[in-house]
Structure 1
Amino acid sequence: MVKARFTTFDVVVYAILLTVGLLTLLPFMYVISVSLTPYSEVVRNGGFVLIPHEFTMDAYRQLFDRPIIPRAFGVTLFLSIAGTAMNLALTLLMAYPLSRKKLPGRTSLLLFVVFTMLFNGGLIPTYLIVKETYLLNTIWAMIIPSLIWAFNILVMKTFLEGLPEELFESARMDGAGEGVILLRLVMPLSIPSLVTIGLFYLVGHWNQFFLGVLYIQNTDLFPLQLVVRNMLISASSVETNVDVTLPTATLQMAAVVTASLPIVLVYPFFQKHLTKGMLLGSIKG
């Protein structure tokens, strides 16, 4: 049996990694602890609590008693599911033809895609387009302007270019059209890459608040992250016209946990596909 030998260098590296890991966990522990701690204990400890002596769910009950949080949660859930589905569909529909080297005008289209990664129309022109297309103050204003990410198209295109050309030729010889090839051949083989890109889109939609600030005035359409942001900035209650008995800081931390927990829980289930998709769909030099 070979015994592992730890050198001084190994000890130093592990100590640094452990320290960095603990420092990374401290903010999460603080947020969760404050959200579960009675306000009296928070005040006694000067507002800093890592391990509460007493736990309470009052902040979460108070948070979800107000209609704005469940409503915002539903808006964000719709944005994440519907937006990600539309993102993946359009990304695949554009990446597949671009991966075919015999496509007429392929080079010009690729240059157009790359150009949008370097330059964009700007905030004001984009706002005017959203306004003139009657998307202002609708939930689609937070989905349609960011339907396709150019980087994800290039990643998907590179992955599809790695598929054996013989598969496509065999399918065409059997009489399959491009639509059948896309649905029955390309999509099943692209699952690792689709999961990877889909996770990027999903996180982007879940964390969306900036487009809500720009295009949404109706509070019924505010996404969850925008509501949490407003709570943290204004240091007020969930709804200013409601008398809240719990302290604002406790509600704020509970809102942060509520907004972050779903993605934290979902990510581990996709980690395997995420790593595999990154390797398969990486851009080759």
Structure 2
Amino acid sequence: MSAPSISSYLRRNRRAGGRPVWMEQPSPAGQGLKLVVIVAMIVAVGYPFLLAIGTSLATKTELAANGGYVLFPDHPTLEAYRVVLSGGVITRAALVSVGVTLVGTALSLLCTICLAYGLSRPGTFAGKPLLLIVVGTFLFTPGIIPNYLVVQQLGLLDTYGAMIFPIMLNAFNVIVVRAFFQGIPEELHEAARLDGAGELKVLCRIVLPLSKAVIAVVGMFYAVTYWNSFFNAMLYINDPDKLPLQVVLRSYVLQGDTFNAKAMGVSVLPATTALSMAVLILAVLPIVAIYPFLQKYFVKGVLTGAIKA
């Protein structure tokens, strides 16, 4: 659409007050439709979550009387959580997941920031070929067998590194951070160099403080990826003591494995359904707890990087 046609289209779609149609207040019918859609989405997302919480707090008697699931237990108890957190395989798996997530996210952010900053600066040696390689990973991804052979040749089988290094760098995150870095005014770089700052000091003192939004978003993406990752652990880890929480959760909830009282460190177990839901809630809780604090950065970080790309 040419420039005159765009201008005429905008003029035709302006109200009497001079504002475009999409800036006007919605009609009562439109507001009602939005309310219905929002309520439906809240119910669709919230009901399963509340059902899992209620089931994890229910007693054996209530679960047996209600077919195995309870939304609002009459006599809530934390027995399932106490058993899960008292020791054994689930506690160990949770510690493994926390460690892999923290270390992996830190390494991923470090590599992503360094690579994105290098690709964002004009005159970087082999910058364009490296950028083409990064973009090319969107189109050509290795399969399971090449990945496994690389991990095997590097001696990472049955190590925690096998859950970190294969997914340590994400091309999409690199492109987003690079685009954000390119949006920082060049005058700031020049002023810092006039004061004698090198590239590392410019990155640490100028670029990073201005990029908190995109770093928070990318860090959240990496943390969620590491926390929810279970396929690499299933593929590369044979030692059950090194399995993360998601693999243990999958074996209990999806594959129907039974809980072992001795492994859980107790003599009598709560209901199996309550234990499964307790493990499920513990697996989801960290991300749910962190997300509200980073939500304000999501739109600013992702959209700014995308628009400037």
TM-score range for the pair, normalised by the shorter chain length: over 0.9
Aligned to 2:130, which of 98, 109, 116? Answer: 109
Would the aligned equivalents of 2:163 and 2:233 in 1 still touch at CA under 8 Å?
Answer: yes
**Are residues 1:234 and 2:255 paired?**
yes
Residue 225 of structure 1: CA displacement?
A: 0.9
**3-state secondary structure, aligned to 1:118:** coil
Aligned to 1:254, which of 249, 262, 278? Answer: 278
Would the aligned equivalents of 1:66 and 1:239 in 2 still touch at CA under 8 Å?
Answer: no
Report how many residues are paired. Answer: 282
Once structures 1 and 2 are overlaid, which stretch shifts more, 189-198 or 152-161?
Answer: 189-198
Aligned partner letter, 1:80: T
Q: Which residue number in structure 1 is paired with residue 169 of structure 2?
A: 148
Partners of 2:51 and 2:157 lie apart in 1 by 38
Q: Which residue number in structure 2 is paired with residue 166 of structure 1?
A: 187
Residue 110 of structure 1: CA displacement?
A: 1.2
Partners of 1:244 and 1:262 lie apart in 2 by 28
Deviations 1:229-256 (A, max 9, x none): 1111332334486575322211100100
Partners of 1:72 and 1:5 lie apart in 2 by 50
Structure 1: state its 5+ residue gaps.
none
Partners of 2:174 and 2:92 lie apart in 1 by 33
Once structures 1 and 2 are overlaid, which stretch shifts more, 64-73 or 133-142?
Answer: 64-73
Would the aligned equivalents of 2:59 and 2:271 in 1 still touch at CA under 8 Å?
Answer: no
Q: Which residue number in structure 1 is paired with residue 301 of structure 2?
A: 277
Over 3 Å counting, the alpha-carbon distance change for 1:240 and 1:108 in structure 2 is: farther
**Are residues 1:263 and 2:263 paired?**
no
Over 3 Å counting, the alpha-carbon distance change for 1:61 and 1:6 in structure 2 is: same
**Are residues 1:34 and 2:58 paired?**
no
Over 3 Å counting, the alpha-carbon distance change for 1:240 and 1:150 in structure 2 is: farther
The percentage of aligned residue pairs carrying the same residue is 40
TM-score under structure 1 normalisation? Answer: 0.93
Partners of 2:276 and 2:268 lie apart in 1 by 12
Partners of 1:143 and 1:232 lie apart in 2 by 25
Aligned partner letter, 1:169: E
Residue 19 of structure 1: CA displacement?
A: 2.5
Over 3 Å counting, the alpha-carbon distance change for 1:222 and 1:244 in structure 2 is: farther
Query: Between Structure 1 and Structure 2, whose CA radius of gyration is higher?
Result: 2
Over 3 Å counting, the alpha-carbon distance change for 1:172 and 1:250 in structure 2 is: same
Aligned partner letter, 2:54: S
Structure 2: state its 5+ residue gaps.
1-24
**Are residues 1:224 and 2:224 paired?**
no
Residue pairs, 1:159-238, within 5 angstroms: 159-238=180-259
Partners of 1:226 and 1:148 lie apart in 2 by 22
Would the aligned equivalents of 2:57 and 2:77 in 1 still touch at CA under 8 Å?
Answer: yes
**3-state secondary structure, aligned to 1:104:** coil
Partners of 1:209 and 1:140 lie apart in 2 by 14
Aligned partner letter, 2:217: T
**Are residues 1:85 and 2:106 paired?**
yes
Partners of 2:228 and 2:55 lie apart in 1 by 22
Over 3 Å counting, the alpha-carbon distance change for 1:8 and 1:275 in structure 2 is: closer
